[in-house]
Structure 1
Amino acid sequence: MPQPRYKHLVDRLAADIRAGRLRPGTRLPTHRDLAAREGLALVTASRVYSELQDMGLVSGETGRGTFVKEALPRGQGIDLHAWSADTVDLSFNYPSTPGQTDLLRAALRQLAAAGDLESLLRYQPHGGREHERATVAAHLRSRGLTATAEMTLLVSGAQHGLTTSAMALLEPGDVVAVDTLTYPGFKLAAEANRLELAPIPAAGHGPDLDTLAALCKRRRVRAVYTMPTLHNPLGWVMSAARRRELVAIAREHGLIIIEDGAYAFLAEDAPPPLASLAPETTVYVSSLSKSVATGLRVGFVCAPSAWVPKLERAIRATVWNTPAIMTAVACGWMEDGTVARLEGEKRRDAAMRQSLVADILGRLKRVGHPSSYFVWLPLAQELRADEIAMALIRERVSVSTALPFSTSAHVPHAVRLAIGSVDLVTLRRSLEVVARVITDRTY
């Protein structure tokens, strides 16, 4: 069957972009001008640009036009990381403090001498052994949750907790309200479970709850995914009043609240978690990835008791149980105070790094929290995020653009810096590069 004529135009433009004949940042003709030039219907011209956008070659921006994109080496940023050994990674956070390796070495020695070592080689209960669930529940109570062992399950990190929550509690096609900028991992979990994400714009330190309420009246929203304490990427901490308002909306419309607390440990004196305000309708998900170590892969889910069997089945369907050795180490550190100590050290470390950011990037517009491990940099109107990200890659610094975080058609031009994964000397040098690259291109 012959290929439609517009497909030849798509192929030709794609080839020109990939060959560099159309350079990154080039503004392409308007849809109307392209239609007139190529003898196409306007709707067909729009389809040409839509297919190029789906291929990741162009971006359409309301009020500005259609532009050739900078070709970032690894797709669109969800899997963005340092491309080579000499590239500084400011795209992912894996914070560590001195002495953590020695802590692990000592914990493994202690575990090796324990009497129940053989039991760790066997299958474990899907949600964790009873004493481990009790240990995690006590840890969650220190974060302000009303948690019991019966409500608590162990999972392989917060990402696994989010995925199993979506699998267990939602159906394909369900509508989930999310922030217009949100954690990319939940976008992946929603995609895998065929959920529809309904973006809610920000309004100060939290989502626009009037928009959420209006959405719930207009559509059958099944759940809301939210990060009320240390939002990623914007760093907000929702006030107690806004949390109560969100809970009221959830109760009125029968919403499941999926509360992500992965970074919550960094914010001291934050209001109580949503799970403490509405335990009957909230699933709370967090982990030790940021507070202890990303490689530990131990997370936890706290949910109403009625939901626990469904969550246990989802855990069985994905990993059966968390790695028993890592779970034993993690629970030992919760019990002996190591986790609490590491959380305190990382709060101080994050605050010190934010001070460094303020010192070096003080002239640039920033959005964030004074004790978080990331900072959001909205770019001036004339700048393009993909161009800035590619320029930084050439300077051996990798960052994230807004694209992996965005859930709406409008993707803001901004970059997120993850500042928790390199030593302070390297961080200072890298921030100086970021400041220079952005400042030199601002006019």
Structure 2
Amino acid sequence: MTIWCPDISAASGPIYLAVADAMEADIRSGALPVGTKLPPQRELAYQLGVTLGTITRAYREAERRRLLRGETGRGTYVAPAEIEASPLIPREDRTGELDLARNFAFPHLNPDLAKGLSRLSRTPGIERLNGFVPSEGLAHHREAGARLFRLFRLSADPSNIAVTCGAQHGIQVLLQALFRPGDAVAVDAFTYPSLLNSAPHLGLKLVPLPMLRSAEGRFLSMDPDALAAAARTEGVRGVFLMPNMHNPTAHTMSLAEREALVDVARRHGLRIIEDDPYTPFVRDELPALGTLAPELTASIASISKLLSPGSRIGFVHVPKEYGSAVRSLIGESTWMASPITAELVSGWIADGTLKRTLLEKRRVNAARFAVAGELLGEERVEGGMDKVFGWLHLDPETDPGAVEAELRRRGVAALSSRYFQSADRRPAPFMRLCWGSIAGETEFRTAINCVAEVLAAPQFKARILSGPVA
């Protein structure tokens, strides 16, 4: 460990920024080489004569600048200048890998692109699509979005819809439209991995909250009491929720769970971002949060998991007061989503291609879940026949990273819990397995068999779901 103590005597602004600036300067100059272990926060606070909170903010700011990385139980280190690529991003050179990690939801069953483009080429007035359009999208594309939102259990007003470059772009836009830098946003203890990276870069503080557990140990919704407490004590201004197929636990909230969280949001004036890309796979006809609390909720609908990730088309539906901000943010980031691919997708929504494709994906997914249940044991995997991934419970003492590494060594990709948790938390004994990224049924069975073999080893033996109610 380096005994690093910067000189901040000449600092004129916030002390935490002065510490972060000094750290960045020493890293850039080579005085703090990559891999150097930084002093514990409490020790540095003592050396500088400042509060522990000041140093905590300084370290967080340095992590936001990607200067540091924290390793649970080991400390904080100077990070490499080149950021490791996310395992969620596909690579062309992984052709031999059996992929249970990336939730691409049966892309081999997506509609015939050549036929779609052929239809698109015959669209009257197609040349208009080759120019600029309003940032929120053309009216008939937003109407197609309203039809799509019906599959997401939301009766959406086209005038409150905007077309985005996929759901990820929609999340970024909504985070900026609904919140300001410095705001705190509540998330589940396990949540969407990209959110964990993108929100801090927008200056937002994520507050992970505990999830309820059933008597059998299955994960339920965010604890509404914890959300209320966070609103009172941590100044949480909003909440990010996935009610219909929570990623990664696969839980679908009951009506009572939805109403309890909406009640807390209403009482404390919390804004809700509802991101539910897998809703059309779920057969339960439960109301969207945007239906229960339309004045508070911004909802996202995407076709990436349903039809065409390559089109990069998604839709957001927001309360009217945020419409102008959403339009401006889309304009500032990309000007507009592609009207060409929006037209392609709109045609698939209108002519029944979406519904036919979804039915086939549901059928194959049910068969895949049956295979996973047969080989792994349904009691070990949270999910169901209409869930496109499962949440695998490991022995409480098992290191999920070690299981992930052993599977990778055997040619199978899967994600341990650490990708769904904030960086300062110890990885929990769970893994997410996705059913739809492998095209062949034989290859899929081989991948699940490999998981079963690894878990059968004494050091990795999985357990039957059990545990206390949180």
CA distance 1:98–1:76, shift in 2 (3 Å)? closer
> Which deviations, in whole Å up to 9, do the C-alpha atoms of 1:135-171 show, x marking residues without a partner?
2112213432121111111111111100000111211
Corresponding position of 2:8: none
Q: How far 1:410 sits from its partner (Å)?
A: 3.4
Aligned to 2:291, which of 276, 299, 306? 276
* Aligned amino acid, residue 356 of structure 1: V
Alpha-carbon distance in 1 for matches of 2:368, 2:279? 17
Corresponding position of 1:71: none
> Which deviations, in whole Å up to 9, do the C-alpha atoms of 1:345-385 show, x marking residues without a partner?
22222211111110111187222233211111222133211
CA distance 1:170–1:415, shift in 2 (3 Å)? same
CA distance 1:124–1:341, shift in 2 (3 Å)? same
SS of the residue corresponding to residue 286 of structure 1 reads strand
Alpha-carbon distance in 2 for matches of 1:292, 1:321? 20
Aligned to 2:147, which of 138, 141, 164? 138
- Residue 325 (structure 1) aligned with residue 324 (structure 2): no
> Which deviations, in whole Å up to 9, do the C-alpha atoms of 1:233-277 show, x marking residues without a partner?
000011111111111111111111000111111111241000001
* Aligned amino acid, residue 413 of structure 1: P
Query: Is 179-188 or 137-146 further displaced after alignment?
Result: 137-146
Equivalent residue runs for 1:118-267 within 5 Å: 118-204=127-213, 205-267=220-282
Query: Is 125-134 or 382-391 further displaced after alignment?
Result: 382-391
Alpha-carbon distance in 1 for matches of 2:110, 2:90? 23
Aligned to 1:344, which of 344, 350, 359? 359
Corresponding position of 1:387: 402
Aligned to 1:88, which of 98, 110, 117? 98
Aligned to 2:319, which of 304, 313, 328? 304
Alpha-carbon distance in 1 for matches of 2:306, 2:410? 30
SS of the residue corresponding to residue 362 of structure 1 reads helix
Are the counterparts in 2 of residues 95 and 293 from structure 1 also a CA contact under 8 Å? no
Corresponding position of 1:442: 460
SS of the residue corresponding to residue 222 of structure 2 reads coil
> Which deviations, in whole Å up to 9, do the C-alpha atoms of 1:181-213 show, x marking residues without a partner?
000122222122111011111103211111111
Are the counterparts in 2 of residues 88 and 430 from structure 1 also a CA contact under 8 Å? yes
Q: How far 1:311 sits from its partner (Å)?
A: 0.4
Aligned to 1:413, which of 417, 422, 429? 429
Q: RMSD in angstroms over aligned alpha carbons?
A: 3.3
SS of the residue corresponding to residue 373 of structure 2 reads helix
SS of the residue corresponding to residue 327 of structure 2 reads helix
- Residue 108 (structure 1) aligned with residue 117 (structure 2): yes
Alpha-carbon distance in 2 for matches of 1:98, 1:387? 31
Q: How far 1:107 sits from its partner (Å)?
A: 1.7
* Aligned amino acid, residue 121 of structure 1: N
Alpha-carbon distance in 2 for matches of 1:92, 1:380? 23
SS of the residue corresponding to residue 94 of structure 1 reads coil
Q: How far 1:76 sits from its partner (Å)?
A: 8.4
SS of the residue corresponding to residue 163 of structure 2 reads strand
Are the counterparts in 2 of residues 76 and 403 from structure 1 also a CA contact under 8 Å? no
Alpha-carbon distance in 2 for matches of 1:247, 1:78? 34
Are the counterparts in 2 of residues 175 and 195 from structure 1 also a CA contact under 8 Å? yes
Are the counterparts in 1 of residues 187 and 207 from structure 2 also a CA contact under 8 Å? yes
Q: In the comparison of the two structures, how many residue pairs are matched?
A: 403
Corresponding position of 2:23: none
CA distance 1:99–1:273, shift in 2 (3 Å)? closer
Equivalent residue runs for 1:54-73 within 5 Å: 58-60=71-73
* Aligned amino acid, residue 179 of structure 1: D
Q: How far 1:98 sits from its partner (Å)?
A: 5.8
Alpha-carbon distance in 2 for matches of 1:369, 1:379? 18
- Residue 396 (structure 1) aligned with residue 411 (structure 2): yes
* Aligned amino acid, residue 270 of structure 2: L
Alpha-carbon distance in 2 for matches of 1:5, 1:247? 47
Alpha-carbon distance in 2 for matches of 1:390, 1:59? 18
* Aligned amino acid, residue 92 of structure 1: R
Are the counterparts in 2 of residues 173 and 194 from structure 1 also a CA contact under 8 Å? yes
In structure 1, list runs of 5 or more residues that go unmatched: 18-30, 32-42, 67-73
In structure 2, list runs of 5 or more residues that go unmatched: 6-25, 27-31, 41-51, 76-82, 214-219, 462-470
Alpha-carbon distance in 2 for matches of 1:114, 1:151? 26
Query: Structure 2 length as normaliser, TM-score?
Result: 0.78
Q: How far 1:80 sits from its partner (Å)?
A: 5.8
Alpha-carbon distance in 2 for matches of 1:394, 1:277? 47
Q: How far 1:428 sits from its partner (Å)?
A: 0.5
Query: Is 241-250 or 355-364 further displaced after alignment?
Result: 355-364
* Aligned amino acid, residue 300 of structure 2: V
Corresponding position of 2:450: 433
